Amino acid sequence: MEQIHSTDIATSGVENDLSSTIGFFIWIEESPRDWIECVRSISGSGSTGVIFIAFAHNTDREFLLSHFGSLKDVKLIPPESFNVGLSEIWDMDLLGVAFLLSPTVLPNSFLTNAAYWIKNDPRVASVSFLSNAGGFLSFPYRNTPHPLAPDGYDQTTLTYHLRARHSIGQRRGVPIPVAQGPVVVLSTNAWNLCSEDGDSSGRDVEFLLEDISLRSGRRGLVNYLDPYTFVFRVWPPNFMVRENERMTVRRDALNRRHPFYPICYDIEMQRSDSVLAQALDVARAQTNGLRILIDGSALGPKEMGTQLVILQLCKELCTLPVVQRLFLAVPQPDRLPSYAQELRNLDKLILVKSNGLEFPDADYVDIIHRPYQPSEPIPWQRWSSISKRIVITIQDLIAYRNASYFPNWQKWDDYRSNFRLQASRADAIFSISNDVVSVIQEERMPIERDRIFVVENGGDARSPDQPVRVPRVIAERGWTGRRFLVAIGATYAHKNRDFTIRVWAELRRMGFDIGLVLVGATVPFGSSRVEEALISSKTPCDSLIVLPEVESLERNWLLKHASLAMYLTSAEGFGQGPFEAACMGVPTLFVSFGPLRELLPDTVTCGSFRVDELAAQAVTLLTSRDAAQKSIATIMKSVERLSWKATAKKTVDAYFEVLDMPARAGWR
């Protein structure tokens, strides 16, 4: 994880103003020496609230007077004046009081959220905080007090890190049944409403706070955890022994007053799907880093759109400090295809077997992500047993809407049924554009809109300095120095390769001596191969080359040496064509619609599939260097925004939002 230093973190004026409305009531039972750092941290916490220090009979009074008695805004409360001091602080004009129950080191501005929530909602009874030893709010080990802060952090740097994703107005408190921990902020409203409901005169301050927080819940108020703030509890000798003894006594006493306690507390401690558990999962992932499993079972011998997405996403995710570990499930971990060999050099990446999507070697992770179409059944019970959340990507609904891509109607119907099932069970769907989101909604996919995230693919996967290799057929035909158009894509009918041939033929009719190279696998159903054969039979065969799907080095050569890339698709899937060509310094002819219009809004393109209009635009791009360079520059400007680095960052942000949502109910 990226290291943050306390000295780099400043306190804002707004936080100071709000924090000053919270007072401090420190309860010292034993050695006051342990409190020196705590009192010092209060003075640097961004608060100017008054500090009351109450102490027990066995406390060293002389030490308290010599070290704390002369401090500004500090008032010492001897044992015989405990109740008077407690009443006095509540008589002040404060939003609430922060009770410190054991020696604790506080982060800068630790009251920011508590003061904001109490000020803006009179129903807030109390605010507790994450702590290394905070009972059921212990962090990062839930229900397990620990003597140390999370590795690489102190209380201030961890608080800064936890707050970094949201501004104060976006932060939400987490409802909890009872206040707990070394520091609890109790609101003045809660005190005024509930202090008379029972005996509040005892000197067991922990019991007092838990009791009032339970009474507050009975009156309709709410107790919150601040999951964005970490306080460090000093770990004295025999801490756990004393803590367990005190907890047992408090549980019995609280149960006598509140019959529903401690059952509500114990249930909340254990439930993995509670709002508290979800908040702790998010905070833990943000602190220790995300553990992600990517379904890379599509990494076969050929590098097409799906393979490029998997490769680029994994590479960029591994560069992010917030990612702790990335598991990539592939068919054969010991035999990666040549284009994916660089994955072995990524420190955070671990290759595991996909094994029919069962992932037998995978560890437990925060997120499982299938970053491409859910075109086959997913073993949901297995996936949910090794992850907290499951995400699938929908690039398009072309096959979902097109029966001709299947051998018969039943296969198409099965595909659609499976597609809807996957959408209904995923915790979230990622999509490559707002246009595709609109199509998902048009088809009434069974998932809520707030679980659909737009995460655009990057466009900077290729560059002119990438290694190249001349395709054998190109060399044999003597085309290494010839001008040619190139169209890359499988023979799916929506790719309109036959239409590309018609535009090329029109260019030849207009006098252009230019060849055409068609590259892409032939698909068994929904192909345009017959139409391509009929049209190409009317053109000179020495000017047309048809290649199957080529390796990445040959693809690089074709893109780099083409005069113009042809991308006349009428249904958009991955959207890589214009970006790949522009990165190689080649303009692209395409029709502006849907995702292409959304992602490349300023590019000069055609608005229809008329051969004469497309041919005229092709002539402009082929004959005008200024027009070609302008087209390339416009696309490259979009590449700055649509980089794979930006894709990875947006992906991780969405992962955190998904973790902060409840898992999809109804099937788990």
For residue 13, the model assigns a pLDDT of 42
For residue 15, the model assigns a pLDDT of 47
Low-confidence ranges of the chain (pLDDT < 70): 1-19, 43-49, 197-203, 241, 540-541, 574-575, 602, 604, 665-668
For residue 473, with 0-12 CB atoms within 10 Å meaning exposed, 13-18 middle and 19 or more buried, which class applies? middle
For residue 11, the model assigns a pLDDT of 43
For residue 459, the model assigns a pLDDT of 86
**CB–CB of 528/497 below 8 Å?**
yes
Tokens coding 536: 């190409």
Q: What is the largest CA-CA distance in the chain?
A: 107
Tokens coding 417: 């049924």
482: left (phi over 0), alpha (psi -120 to 50) or beta: beta
For residues 461 and 63, give the distance between their C-alpha atoms in angstroms, rounded to a whole number.
66
For residues 384 and 665, give the distance between their C-alpha atoms in angstroms, rounded to a whole number.
12
Residue-wise pLDDT for 625-655, tens only, equals 999 999 999 988 888 888 999 999 999 999 9
Cross-strand pairs, 367:
292, 389
For residue 239, the model assigns a pLDDT of 73
Contacts of 641 (CB under 8 A, 6+ apart): none
For residues 62 and 66, give the distance between their C-alpha atoms in angstroms, rounded to a whole number.
6
Contacts of 324 (CB under 8 A, 6+ apart): 1, 288, 289, 290, 291, 348
For residue 1, the model assigns a pLDDT of 52
Query: Closest Cα partner for 76 from 92, 89, 94?
Result: 89
For residues 668 and 658, give the distance between their C-alpha atoms in angstroms, rounded to a whole number.
16
Tokens coding 408: 């018969």
- The vertex-298 CA angle with 550 and 420, nearest 5°, equals 125
Number of Cβ atoms within 10 Å of the Cβ of 202: 13
Q: How far is CA 503 from each of CA 97, 341, 485, 548, rounded to the nearest angstrom?
A: 76, 39, 11, 21
Tokens coding 69: 């008695």
For residue 162, the model assigns a pLDDT of 95
- 263: helix, coil or strand? helix
For residue 209, the model assigns a pLDDT of 92
